[in-house]
Amino acid sequence: MEPSHLSHLDERGAARMVDVAGRSATDRSATAEGFLRMAPTTLALVLDGAAPKGDVLAVARVAAIQGAKRTAELIPLCHPLPLAGVRVTIEPAVDGSGLRLEASARTTAPTGVEMEALTAVQVGLLTLYDMLKAADPAMTIGPVRLLEKHGGRHGSWRHPEAPTTRETPGETAPPAAGAPDG
Annotated catalytic residues are 130
* Rg value, the chain, Cα: 17
CA distances from 116 to 87, 109, 112 (A): 11, 13, 9
DSSP β-bridge partners for residue 150: 29
